[in-house]
Amino acid sequence: MHRPLTPKETLYAMRIVSLRTAVLRIALACWASVCAAQTGGAGLPPARLTIDPGTIVSPVSPMLYGLMTEEINHSYDGGLYAELLQNRTFRGSWEGVEHWDLVRHGDSEAAMEVDRGSGPSQALPYSLKLSVSASAPGSQAGLTNSGYWGVALKPHTKYRGSFYAKADDASVGPVTARLISDKTGAVLAETAVALHGGDWSQYSFALTTGAIPLSTQNHMELTVAHPGTLRLQLVSLMQPTFHDRPNGNRPDLMERMAELHPTFLRLPGGNYLEGDTLRDWYNWKETIGPLVDRPGHQAPWSYWSTDGLGLLEFLEWCEDLKIEPVLAVYAGYSLRQQHVNPGKDLEPYVQSALDEVEYVTGDTSTKWGAERAKDGHPAPFPLHYIEIGNEDFFDRSGSYDARFAQFARALRKSYPQYKLIATTPVKESSADDQPDVLDDHYYKPWGDMLDFTHHYDDAPRTGPKIFIGEWATLSGTPTPNFGGALADAAWMTSMERNSDLIIMASYAPLLINVNGGQWGTNLIGYNGATSYGSPSYYAQALFAGHLGDGTPKATITGGGKRFYYSATVGSKDHVLHLKLVNASNEEQPLTIELQGAKGVHTAKAYTLHAATYEATNTINDPEFIHSTDSVIKVSGGSWKHAVPGLTIEVLDIPLD
Ligand code: AHR
C-alpha cells in the first residue's frame, strides 16, 4: 500500500512528469532531425493547392479504369479458370506426359502411352492408353495428376470431375477417382465411376471433401481394380466457380477484380492475341463450343493454352463483373516478325474479325449469333470498342497501315457504330482509315514513371483518343512493392487529369500464379489456394472506386518534386475526390484552398502507407500493406494538411 502524496510532493511529481515529457519531446525532435539529416531532407517546401470545385474544365471518362489479361503467368490455366488438373488433354513432350504419372498400388502392373489413333473428337483425335496387366480391389493401378503445383482443396467443397473414356471391355472398371493428401496419403474424397464398353463417351462424377485443412499439397488418382485397357481424354476436375457458372472462373480472383471497380475487359489481351508465329494466332473459332471440340493452342508465354477459357467464357466473365468487352481482333501480325500481306491474303482474317463481332453482338437470326445461342448464350453482349491487333509498332515490315485500313473499312461498313482502336499511329489515306482511339503501352522503372506523369498534359486534343491498354511501374516481383504503388498512383493522377483524352486504361499484367510466372511485376498474386492484392492493387482499387465525372479547375504551387495530386468531382453525389500522392520519404505540408466551399465538412480519408519503398504484400503476408479509413474535418476556404512520406491518400470531400 502507498500512502497518499502531500500537496508539495504532488507538485514535485507533476513537475518531474512535465520535465520528463519535455525531455522526451526534445529527444524526439532531435531524433526526427537526425532522421531527416540521414535521409538528406530539410523538409519539403510547402504546397498550396487551390481547387474550384464549381468550375469543371474537362470530363472524366466513365470507362477510365478497366482490366487487361492474357494467358501469361498461368493467368487462366492454373489461375482464373477453375480447372484443377494440369494437362487434361495428355499433351506429351520428350519428358513424357507432363503432370501425369502411373500409379501402381501393391503388386499391380500398368503401362501408359499416348495413342495417336483414337480420341473422342476431331479436335482431340488422340488419347492416353492405360494398359493394366495386374490389378485387384486392394491394389489398384491407374494414373495420378499433380495439378498446378498441387491440387488445391478446400474443406466441405464439391468438386466436379469428368473424363472421356473408351474401354475395350467395361469389366476393367469401375474407375475409382480419389483426392489424396500428398503429405499424409489420406484419401480426402473418393467415388467410383461405372464404365460401359463401346465407343468414346463422357463420364461425370463429384468428389466432396469433409473437414480437411485448406491445402495445395494434394493430387488426384484415377485407378481401376481389374486388368484391361482403358483410353482416356479430357480428364477434368473443376473447383466451384464464381456465380456457379459451368466451366467458369475461380471466385476469389473474380472478387479481387470486382474490387478494382473495372468498367471493361480488353480481350484477348497482349501477345496472346498474336501468338509467336502465324500458326499460333488467337483463332477464336477454335475456343468456342463443347470443350471436347477445342484443340487448345500454343500460347506465346511458353506453355499450352487449353482454351477452356475461350471467347464465350471471356464474355461471360464480363457479364459476371458487369463490365463490357473491348474486343481485340487478330490483325495479321505475329511476334516473330511474321505478317500476313494486306489484300487477298488478309481477307480470311478480316472475315474472321467480322464473324467474331457477330458472335459477340449479333442476334440469334445471324449465323454467329445463332452459334453463340447454341453455345448457351442467346443474348448478345454489349460492345463499343474494337481493337485491331496488338503492339503493331513491333512489325518492322511496315504493313500495319494497310492492314489496319483493310480491317477498318470492312468493320466500319458492317458495324459503323463501333469505335476502332489502332495499336500504333497509322498514316492517313482516308478518313475511314483513321482510328478513333490509339492504344499506348508503358512499362517503366520507378523513376521514369514518376518523370513521365506530365506526358499527356500538353498532348494535342484534336486527334484520336488514347487508350493506355497496358501500363505498369516495374518495381517489385512477382507483384509491385510500395515504391511501385507510389509511382503507379502518381501515374494514375496524370491519367485522371487527362481523362478528356485518355478514355480507358488497364494495368498489365493483372494476374500471376506465384509458382510459375513469366513477367516480373504483376498486380494480383496467387497460388492454388489463396490470392493477394499488391500495394498497387489497393491503390488502383481506391482510385477507381473514388472517381468523379469532371475535373475541376485546380492549380498547385510549391511542394516537393515527388508530390502529385488529382481532383475530380462527382456531379451526382457532389463529392470532391482528392488524391494526394507523396512519393518522397518526407512529409509534404499542404494548404488546400477549396474555393466556393463554406463551413466545416467531414471528409472520409483512405490511406495507404509504408515505411519503405520496398515494403510489400506476399502470398504469406497478404495484407501487410492495406488501406485504412479515417474521418477528417475539412474547412471551406482553406485548411492545413500534411501528407506523410511514402503515402497515398484519397479524400472524399462532400461539397454540399
Ligand atoms: O503484358 C505483357 C506483354 O507486354 C503483353 O503481352 C504485350 O502486349 C506487351 O508487350
Q: How far is the CA of 300 from the centre of ligand 1 (A)?
A: 10
Query: Does any ligand 1 atom lie closer than 6 A to the CB of residue 508?
Result: yes
Secondary structure letter of residue 608 according to DSSP? E
Q: Whose CA is nearest to atom 8 of ligand 1?
A: 270
Give the largest Cα separation in the chain, rounded. 105
Taking all residues of the chain, what is their mean pLDDT, rounded to a whole number?
93
Q: What's at 40, amino acid-wise?
A: G
C-beta separation of 162 from 191 below 8 A: no
**How many residues in total does the chain contain?**
656
**pTM, entire model:** 0.93
CB 495 within 8 A of CB 502: yes
C-alpha–C-alpha distance, residues 237 and 33, integer Å: 60
Give the lowest-confidence range in 84-98, 161-175, 263-277, 613-627: 84-98
| Cis peptide leading into residue 246 (ω within 30°) | no
Pocket test for ligand 1, best of 70, 71, 474 (most atoms within 8 A of CB): 70
* Whole-angstrom distance, CA of residue 653 vs CA of residue 575: 5
Name which of 370-379, 616-625, 630-639 the model is least confident about: 630-639
Contact between 431 and 405 under an 8 Å Cβ cutoff? The reply is: no
Rounded to whole angstroms, the Cα distance separating 8 from 592 reads: 49
Determine the average pLDDT of the residues in 491-505: 98
Q: Pick the atom of ligand 1 nearest to 68's CA.
A: 1
How are strands ordered across the β-sheet holding 511-513? 511-513, 524-526, 531-533
DSSP 8-state assignment for residue 2: P
Question: CA 402, CA 381: separation in Å to the nearest integer?
Answer: 29
- Best mutation site among 72, 73, 266, 271 for ligand 1 pocket (most ligand atoms within 8 Å of CB): 271
CA of residue 441 to ligand 1 center, whole Å: 9
For ligand 1, whether the C-beta of 271 sits within 6 Å is yes
Q: Is residue 493 within 8 Å of 566, Cβ to Cβ? A: yes
Q: Is 616 exposed, middle or buried (0-12, 13-18, 19+ CB in 10 A)?
A: buried
Phi, psi for 503 (deg, rounded to 5): -90, -20
**What percent helix, strand, coil does the chain show, rounded to 5?**
25, 35, 40
User: Does residue 391 have its Cβ closer than 6 Å to ligand 1?
Assistant: yes
**654 bridge partner residues:** 575
Q: How far apart are the first and last CA of the chain?
A: 59
State the sign of the Cα–Cα–Cα–Cα dihedral 283, 285, 288, 291.
negative
Looking from the CA of residue 441, the nearest atom of ligand 1 is: 9
| Helix or strand run (H / E) with residue 545 | helix 535-545
Under a CB-based contact definition with an 8 Å cutoff, are residues 92 and 114 in contact?
Answer: yes
- Tell me if 70 CB under 6 Å of ligand 1: yes
Q: How far apart are CA 321 and CA 303, in angstroms?
A: 27
Residue where the block lists cell 495439378: 147
User: How far is it, in rounded angstroms, from Cα 320 to Cα 316?
Assistant: 6
Share of the chain above pLDDT 70, in %: 93
Distance CA 50, CA 72 (A): 44
How far apart CA 187 and CA 217 sit, in angstroms, is: 13
> Which of 334, 443, 468 has most ligand 1 atoms within 8 Å of its beta carbon, as the pocket-test mutant?
443
Does residue 95 register a pLDDT over 90?
Answer: no
Give the position, in ligand 1's atom list, of the atom nearest the Cα of 300: 6
Å from CA of 67 to ligand 1 middle:
13
Q: What's the confidence (pLDDT) of residue 5?
A: 43
Residue 390 Cβ < 6 Å to ligand 1: yes
For ligand 1, whether the C-beta of 488 sits within 6 Å is no
In whole angstroms, what is the distance from residue 562 CA to residue 564 CA?
A: 6
* Model confidence at 634: pLDDT above 80: yes
Q: Closest Cα to residue 178, out of 215, 211, 206, 212?
A: 206
pLDDT in tens, 382-397: 999 999 999 999 999 9
Residue 40 grid coordinates: 538528406
Quote the CA–CA distance of 638 and 593 in Å, as a whole number: 4
Report which protein residue has its CA nearest ligand 1's atom 3.
Answer: 270
CA 521/CA 481 separation, integer angstroms: 9
Mean pLDDT of the 475-484 span = 98
On the question of pLDDT at 484 being above 50, the answer is: yes
From the CB of 509, is ligand 1 less than 6 Å away? yes
**Is the CB–ligand 1 distance for residue 371 below 6 Å?**
no
* Burial class of 365 by CB neighbour count within 10 A (0 to 12, 13 to 18, 19+): exposed
Residue nearest to ligand 1 atom 2, measured at CA? 509
Of 88-102, 151-165, 615-629, the least confident: 88-102
H or E, element range at 255: helix 251-258
Give the pLDDT mean for 240-262: 98
Ligand 1 centroid–CA 554 distance in Å is 35
* Inter-residue contact 389 to 274 (CB < 8 Å): yes
Q: How much is the pLDDT for 277? A: 97
Task: For residue 105, report the phi and psi dihedrals to the nearest 5 degrees.
Answer: -75, 145
What's the CA-to-centroid distance between 109 and ligand 1, angstroms? 47
DSSP letter for 239, please.
P
The pLDDT confidence band at residue 14, using thresholds 50, 70 and 90, is very low
| 581 close to 489: Cβ distance less than 8 angstroms | yes
Q: Residue 3 has what pLDDT?
A: 39
CA 428 to centroid of ligand 1, rounded, Å: 27
Work out whether the CA dihedral 488, 493, 494, 498 comes out positive or negative: positive
Calculate the alpha carbon distances from 521 to 73, 474, 544, 613 in Å.
11, 6, 20, 15
Of ligand 1's listed atoms, the one at least distance from the Cα of 509 is 1
Query: What is the rounded radius of gyration, in angstroms, for the C-alpha atoms of the chain?
Result: 30
Question: Do 328 and 267 touch, CB atoms closer than 8 A?
Answer: yes
Burial class (CB in 10 A: 0-12, 13-18, 19+), 563: buried
State the Cα–Cα distance between residues 224 and 222, nearest whole angstrom: 7
274 CA to middle of ligand 1, Å?
11
Give the CA dihedral 646, 652, 653, 656, nearest 10 degrees: 180
- Please, which pLDDT band fits residue 197 given cuts at 50, 70 and 90? confident
Asked if pLDDT for residue 31 goes beyond 70, the answer is no
- H/E stretch holding 271 reads helix 270-274
| 69 Cα: distance to centroid of ligand 1 (angstroms) | 9
pLDDT tens for residues 37-82? 334 456 999 999 999 999 999 999 999 999 999 999 999 999 999 9
All three cell numbers of 118: 483414337
Taking alpha carbons only, the member of 505, 434, 438, 498 closest to residue 465 is 438
Q: By the 8 A CB rule, do 220 and 163 touch?
A: no
Query: Is pLDDT above 90 for 538?
Result: yes
464: its cell numbers:
484520336
> DSSP secondary structure string, 410-471?
HHHHH-TTSEEEESS----SSGGGS-SEEEEEEEE-HHHHHHTTTTTTT--SSS-EEEEEEE
pLDDT reported for residue 601: 85
Distance of CA 120 to the CA centre of its chain: 34
pLDDT bracket for residue 430 (50, 70, 90): low
Check pocket membership of 270 for ligand 1, CB cut-off 6 A.
Answer: yes
* 4 band by pLDDT with thresholds 50, 70 and 90: very low
Report how far ligand 1's centroid is from the alpha carbon of 197 (Å): 48
